[in-house]
A and B are shown apart, each in its own frame.
Chain A
């Protein structure tokens, strides 16, 4: 059976180096299958992260041959030609804990800074609203919110964004995409504060619309357009003197 060479970055926050492994090259194997096989049969101490294995939890992202990807839904034959090696690194732009496991805390801290949690308008302090809100599925705001809601928080877009590399404070595509879904949630009552939170150099105004995030998002979401929506909204708010 053909062999597949896999180079895996091993180390921690202090630094590291690549180690090479070999596994059987199979017709059908995902990158995560390969990592699991190496961990189980060759390198028990290898650190990596996964949970669902079916593209739902967002925990398995890594850099695969130079690109951030979800590894559980990435087939080896789609990213490496026959005979080509697989090179795996931890997800860029986040602190490394060990080997292929990064610390996602700074990534989710940015969601919090972008006010990425729902703030019910008519039920403060987590109270249950009296009645269901009626939000017509065909309304423009609802469609904008729906377009970005399926984010699994994998961090692939954040890892693919140059602006994050240049400015670690930049909230990044995922947090801003989340904020845009909430800006379009007519039930939410924290719009002014949220728009203020996503404004400026650490927010949407640093985005250059290069669309790496959109191109790389495994869920096919379009954070770049969501950010453009935030910019448009803030532009007219500023020109017309509206606040929130």
Chain B
């Protein structure tokens, strides 16, 4: 029960963070594409910037966890997939997807 409660809490916290992060992300995109978009422009912004690394790593972590916990709820309701083993699997899946995003953020920081 407490595990289920904590997954729920994690989904709400990540949702709150995503709401802000998506807004920041969109505003950044709109500002960035004015006057054309190039890899050099992006890297100029992100390379060596701890702030952007932290933001995108957090964004990826939140999105990965949030989506996996959400899909877990849908799978439970529509497919009857329930149980502790599956919960751990969803958590692993969420962290794995998050890791791809974090690796990309690291790439932009370290490039």
Contact = CB atoms under 8 A, between A and B. Distances in A.
Interface of A: 163, 166-167, 196, 199-201, 203, 205-206, 231, 234-235, 238-239
Nearest to A234: B5
Contact of A200 (B5, B12, B73): B5
Tell me whether chain B's interface is mostly helix, strand or loop, or mixed: helix
A205 B77 contact: no
Contacts of A238: 5-6, 9
Interface string B1-25: 1101110110010000000000000
A166 B1 contact: no
B8 A205 contact: yes
Contacts of B9: 235, 238-239
A163 B1 contact: no
Nearest to B5: A199
A204 to B, nearest CB: 9
A11 to B, nearest CB: 26
Given A205-B8, A238-B6, A238-B9, A199 B78 contact: no
A209 B4 CA distance: 18
Given A166-B77, A167-B77, A234-B5, A201 B82 contact: yes
B4 A205 contact: yes
Max chain B Cβ within 10 angstroms of own Cβ: one of A196, A201, A206 = A201
Query: On chain B, which size bracket covers the interface?
Result: 10 to 19
A231 B5 CA distance: 9
8 contacts: A166-B77, A200-B1, A200-B4, A203-B1, A235-B12, A238-B5, A238-B6, A238-B9
A196 B1 CA distance: 8
Nearest to B87: A201
Contacts of B1: 196, 199-200, 203
A199 B2 contact: yes
Interface in B67-100: 73, 76-78, 82
Nearest to B12: A235
A239 to B, nearest CB: 7
Nearest to A163: B77
Q: What 5 A-B pairs come out closest when comparing CB atoms?
A: A200-B4, A200-B1, A166-B77, A205-B8, A199-B5
Contacts of A200: 1-2, 4-5
A234 B6 CA distance: 10
Contacts of A231: 8
Nearest to B9: A238
A201 B8 CA distance: 9
Nearest to B78: A166
Nearest to B4: A200
A191 to B, nearest CB: 15
Nearest to B6: A238
B66 to A, nearest CB: 15
Interface string B39-82: 00000000000000000000000000000000001001110001
A7 B12 CA distance: 46
A234 B1 CA distance: 12
Nearest to B77: A166
A231 B8 CA distance: 9
